Amino acid sequence: MKSSEKRMMGNSVGIQRVNYLIKRVAESDVDCLILGETGTGKELAARKIHECSWRKDGPFIPVNCSALSENLFESELFGHIKGAFTGAVGNRKGRFELADNGTLFLDEIGELSGAMQVKLLRSLQERQIERVGDSNLIDVNVRVIAATNRNLKNMISEGSFREDFYYRINVFSIYLPPLRSRSGDVEALLKYFLQLYTRNNDLCFDDETMDILKDYSWPGNIRQLENCVRHSLVLAEDKIYPYHLPEDIYHNPNQEPFELPLEKSTPCEIKMPNDCEEKTLLIQALKETNGNRSKAADILGVSRVTVWSRMKKYGLLPKQNEMFSSSEA
């Protein structure tokens, strides 16, 4: 997610608190730990801290810790001198030196092995590094921001994460809430990415599509939402309809079942309709409401999302079948 604003997008209470904490920690120079599920925008938050700090004119150097191997760990972070090992044909700066007077972002910090944590701990404490093959100490002026989707306290209890290393990187922490807990921000994010990835100012989300996306749980968080918009734009022309959405979103496994509505006082056993009965009920409801899916959903006692799903199943969607009006409430 790219944004020139110095705040995380959204108006929910959770994201307002995140923006407040970003502003406050940016005013200091302490190391920071950002926590949150995959796709919640941890690197974006780290960049916001950097952009709001006095280091904003310095470099922002990201490092994916999960991609660092034991053999190349020191060379990548601390650099090496010529001849330090086979293939070291010249002197090379590591990420710490490259981030001098700026910010070093250590993403997926929970993936580091115990040996890597030990090597990194000293450099974080002393703000000095040694290039591989050299005994000279090099001072580095960096701010370190780490991030993880792991529960580091549980890892400490299990013995897979060092407690001293944890307290070194966790001077101040910020938790990014998952998108499912800030559903009020979904519409604004969808419109932001729609503007970002299309030049067609008239393109918009159909009301039913927006309802589906607001109701979705977004297990992949903002990253999944962004990809959803990009996927839909490949197929959409004038408006984004539910059948333009990725299959895993359109066919939500958490979607309520379509059942025959029963009177509350009915004592008999509930009987699920077969496909023929279900289609007949759906067509009848749509005819009675002149194709208005909201009213049809009320008649059937299900959500509009379910009505859309069954309309697709039976070939009754707009542009697939002309038997109903496309009017909406």
Residue 64: phi, psi to the nearest 5?
-90, 100
* Whether residues 31 and 86 fall in one domain: yes
Rounded to an integer, the average pLDDT of 45-53 is 97
* Whether residues 93 and 164 fall in one domain: yes
**Rounded to whole angstroms, what are the CA distances from 290 to 241, 255, 277, 295, 326?**
19, 25, 20, 9, 8
> Does any domain span residue 4?
no
* Whether residues 194 and 163 fall in one domain: no
Q: Report whether 259 contacts 270 (CB < 8 A).
A: yes
**Rounded to whole angstroms, what are the CA distances from 167 to 146, 172, 175, 254, 266?**
12, 9, 16, 39, 61
* Whether residues 155 and 32 fall in one domain: yes
Q: What is the pLDDT of residues 117-169, one digit of tens each?
A: 999 999 999 999 988 888 889 999 999 999 999 999 999 999 999 999 999 99
Among 66, 56, 130, 121, CA closest to 94:
130
Q: How far is CA 23 from the centre of its chain?
A: 21
The number of distinct structural domains making up the chain is 3
Q: Which residue has the higher pLDDT, 148 or 315?
A: 148
- Looking at residue 135, its pLDDT comes to 84
* Whether residues 46 and 96 fall in one domain: yes
Rounded to an integer, the average pLDDT of 295-314 is 79
- Looking at residue 252, its pLDDT comes to 59
* Whether residues 171 and 293 fall in one domain: no
Rounded to an integer, the average pLDDT of 190-199 is 93
Q: Which of 124-138, 219-233, 295-309 has the lowest mean pLDDT?
A: 295-309
> Does any domain span residue 314?
yes
Q: Which of 177, 201, 217 is the last residue of a domain?
A: 177
State which amino acid sits at residue 100: D
**Rounded to whole angstroms, what are the CA distances from 162 to 55, 118, 249, 282?**
29, 8, 39, 59
Match 């800030």 to its residue by tokens. 182
Rounded to an integer, the average pLDDT of 211-218 is 93
Residue 67 belongs to domain with CATH number:
3.40.50.300
Degrees, nearest 5: CA angle 282-285-291: 95
Q: At residue 86, does pLDDT exceed 50? A: yes
Average pLDDT over all residues of the chain: 85
pTM (2 d.p.): 0.75
Q: Which of 143, 162, 177 is the last residue of a domain?
A: 177
Tokens read off for 203: 């393109």
The pLDDT-based confidence of 275 (bands split at 50, 70, 90) is: low
Residue 205 belongs to domain with CATH number:
1.10.8.60
> Does any domain span residue 104?
yes
* Whether residues 161 and 145 fall in one domain: yes
Residue 271 belongs to domain with CATH number:
1.10.10.60
Q: At residue 25, does pLDDT exceed 80? A: yes
- Looking at residue 280, its pLDDT comes to 82
* Whether residues 170 and 189 fall in one domain: no
- Looking at residue 262, its pLDDT comes to 35
User: Could you tell me which residues are beta bridge partners of residue 61?
Assistant: 104
The pLDDT-based confidence of 264 (bands split at 50, 70, 90) is: very low
Q: At residue 51, does pLDDT exceed 70? A: yes
Rounded to an integer, the average pLDDT of 192-212 is 91
The pLDDT-based confidence of 278 (bands split at 50, 70, 90) is: confident
Q: What is the spatial distance between Cα 75 and Cα 70, in angstroms, rounded to a whole number? A: 10
Domain that includes residue 17, residue range: 13-177
State which of 120-134, 165-179, 284-298 shows the largest mean pLDDT.
165-179
> Does any domain span residue 3?
no
* Whether residues 270 and 237 fall in one domain: no
* Whether residues 146 and 46 fall in one domain: yes
Q: Which of 254, 272, 291 is the last residue of a domain?
A: 254
> Does any domain span residue 5?
no
Among 306, 239, 310, 247, CA closest to 274:
310
> Does any domain span residue 228?
yes
* Whether residues 230 and 301 fall in one domain: no
Reported as type and span, the H/E element at residue 180 is none
> Does any domain span residue 138?
yes
* Whether residues 221 and 93 fall in one domain: no
> Does any domain span residue 309?
yes
